[in-house]
A = this chain, B = another copy of it.
Amino acid sequence: MTRQFVVVGHDAPTDAEFSLDDLPGAGRLDVLCRCVTAAFLLSHDIREDVRVTLVLADEYALTFEGGSLRRLNPDEHSTAALIRTALAKRTEAVGHMSVETSPGIAIDRRDFEQVLADVADDGTLIHLDADGQPAVEIDPPAKPVFLLSDHRDFTESERQTIDAVADERVSLGPRPLHGDQAITVAHNWLDTDGFLRW
């Protein structure tokens, strides 16, 4: 596992009672769907060396593993259907047990703090932040774990949690990007050895 993304969905649904035809109305699930597809999909290919963890309303963690992920399509609607399937099986996730709800997707009961504690030793924790150090000034780490928020900023409490564990605070450009755009640029940064060569 060489690239990880942890995305916090503050208003994300915690049950399956939402319509796939109104994803913005479902706690801005559209934002999270785009983050997932940006993290995994290439043109006619999938990035197998990626793990994405979505933190849903600080209650559930949804983990996507590139190596075993199946049926992930680029459109928001079908990605949201995979998430809804996972949420429909959420009651099977008891205690620390994780439940695989479709190939490569698992749900468990964890909040943001627990997720951060779990990834803390996986590699270099990078808080993606508009005010961070420009990525062009840094050599990309071998095993980055990027921390992102959804359409809302991290809360003060989340920032304190992040500051306690993050290794770096990095900016990917001078304009404020959406989460999925930041993921796309972060991949490009890594793919090009720090925007240098390929």
Say whether A141 faces chain B, with CB atoms less than 8 Å apart. Answer: no
* Copies of this chain assembled into the complex: 2
Say whether A38 faces chain B, with CB atoms less than 8 Å apart. Answer: yes
**What does DSSP make chain A's interface, helix, strand, loop or mixed?**
loop
Across the interface, do B185 and A173 meet the contact criterion of CB distance under 8 Å?
no
Say whether A75 faces chain B, with CB atoms less than 8 Å apart. Answer: yes
Q: Which residues of B contact A30 (CB under 8 A)?
A: 74-77
In angstroms, Cα B3 to Cα A175, docked, is 15
Given contacts A74-B34, A197-B136, A198-B134, contact A43 B178 (CB under 8 A): yes
Can you list 14 A-B contacts with CB-CB less than 8 angstroms, sorted by A residue number? A21-B77, A22-B77, A24-B78, A30-B75, A42-B175, A44-B176, A47-B175, A74-B178, A136-B197, A173-B198, A174-B198, A185-B188, A192-B195, A195-B195
Additional A-B contact list (6), CB under 8 Å, known A24-B77, A175-B191 = A43-B151, A43-B176, A45-B175, A45-B176, A76-B76, A136-B192
